[in-house]
């Protein structure tokens, strides 16, 4: 008796599903086996690399230990030498430190930025003269010529500072008046505000330079050479201007001028 067609179709479908399931299972099993075969080589290589690093580190450790031992021995030898010569060496170091401290006290340090607002050549000239004065003051060989040159440099710096301060003050007043005008647009207002800010900064710098100038002037006035210069200047101002005729008449009144060894001087005309 022949089987109906529906039964044959159902059996074929079941067989097809079974074959597909077997094929999927085989693919899944093969896919799991492949990574397991590829993983061991890199692990072995890494293990070998770590073993080589440990071997290399084991060779470097004795060298580091030797270096440390040598450094310790050298440090102990230096400490022992310092302890043996301790008395005289410590006293010498103390004396040297005391001398250095006294030297720094005698030598007044130049200001960090002396008169930064003046021109470059004048600033370098002032620095050079100030250093010369400091060295001469330390050696106690300060001369009138050195003080006079430095005073001339300070006079030039004072004149330049005054001129620049007047210019800055005038520009500051003008820009501030323009800034108070409400008709200015936004761009011009910002530009004027920036100019006023720069003028204020420059004015503050000029005030700092003026303070430095006053400080140097006060230190200079305490030197004996400066006092001698002031005395000579006062003597020159006190001396009255006199003509030759007045001087001759004054000398004629002095009888000691016309006598030589108790006798009157004679003038012979040739």
Residue-wise pLDDT for 63-95, tens only, equals 777 788 888 887 777 776 665 554 445 455 555
Is 210 inside a domain boundary?
yes
pLDDT of residue 256: 64
What ranges make up the beta strands (E) of 138-268? 259-260, 263-264
11-20 per-position pLDDT tens digit: 888 888 888 8
Provide the domain count of the chain: 1
Task: Assess whether pLDDT exceeds 50 at residue 214.
Answer: yes
pLDDT of residue 79: 75
Is 255 inside a domain boundary?
no
Is 64 inside a domain boundary?
no
CA distances from 194 to 108, 117, 146, 181 (A): 39, 20, 44, 15
Is 181 inside a domain boundary?
yes
How much of the chain exceeds pLDDT 70, in percent? 63
Half-sphere exposure for 123 (CA within 13 Å, toward CB): 13
If pLDDT is split at 50, 70 and 90, which confidence band does 239 have? low
pLDDT of residue 84: 57
Rounded Cα distance, 110 and 151, in Å: 16
Is 76 inside a domain boundary?
no
Is 71 inside a domain boundary?
no
pLDDT of residue 186: 73
**DSSP secondary structure string, 232-260?**
HHHHHHHSPP--HHHHHHHHHH-HHHHEE
Task: Assess whether pLDDT exceeds 80 at residue 22.
Answer: yes
Stretch 10-34: mean pLDDT: 80
The predicted model scores a pTM of 0.44
If pLDDT is split at 50, 70 and 90, which confidence band does 43 have? very low
84-136 per-position pLDDT tens digit: 554 445 455 555 554 444 444 444 555 555 667 777 787 788 778 888 877 87
Note down the domain range covering 157: 108-225
pLDDT of residue 259: 62
Is 263 inside a domain boundary?
no
Is 219 inside a domain boundary?
yes
């Amino acid at each position: 008796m022949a089987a109906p067609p529906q039964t044959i179709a159902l059996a074929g479908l079941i067989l097809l599903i079974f074959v597909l399931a077997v094929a999927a299972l085989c693919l899944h099993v093969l896919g799991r086996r492949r990574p397991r075969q590829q993983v061991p080589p890199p692990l072995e290589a890494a293990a070998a690399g770590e073993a080589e690093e440990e071997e290399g580190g084991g060779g470097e450790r004795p060298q580091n230990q030797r270096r440390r031992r040598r450094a310790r021995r050298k440090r102990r030898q230096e400490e022992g030498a310092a302890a043996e010569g301790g008395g005289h060496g410590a006293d010498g170091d103390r004396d040297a430190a005391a001398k250095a401290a006294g030297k720094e006290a005698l030598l007044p340090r130049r200001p960090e930025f002396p008169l930064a607002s003046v021109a470059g050549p004048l600033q370098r000239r002032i620095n050079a003269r100030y250093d010369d004065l400091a060295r001469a003051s330390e050696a106690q060989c300060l001369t009138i010529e050195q003080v006079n040159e430095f005073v001339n440099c300070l006079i030039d710096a004072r004149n330049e500072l005054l001129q620049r301060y007047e210019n800055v003050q005038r520009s500051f007043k003008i820009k501030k008046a323009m800034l108070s005008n409400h008709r200015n647009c936004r761009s011009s207002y910002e530009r004027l505000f920036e100019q006023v800010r720069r003028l204020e900064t420059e004015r503050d710098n000029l005030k700092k330079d003026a303070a430095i100038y006053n400080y140097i002037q006060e230190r200079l006035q305490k030197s004996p050479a400066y006092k001698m210069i002031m005395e000579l200047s006062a003597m020159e101002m006190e001396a009255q201007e006199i003509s030759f005729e007045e001087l001759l008449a004054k000398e004629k009144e002095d009888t000691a001028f016309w006598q030589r060894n108790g006798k009157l001087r004679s003038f012979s005309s040739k």
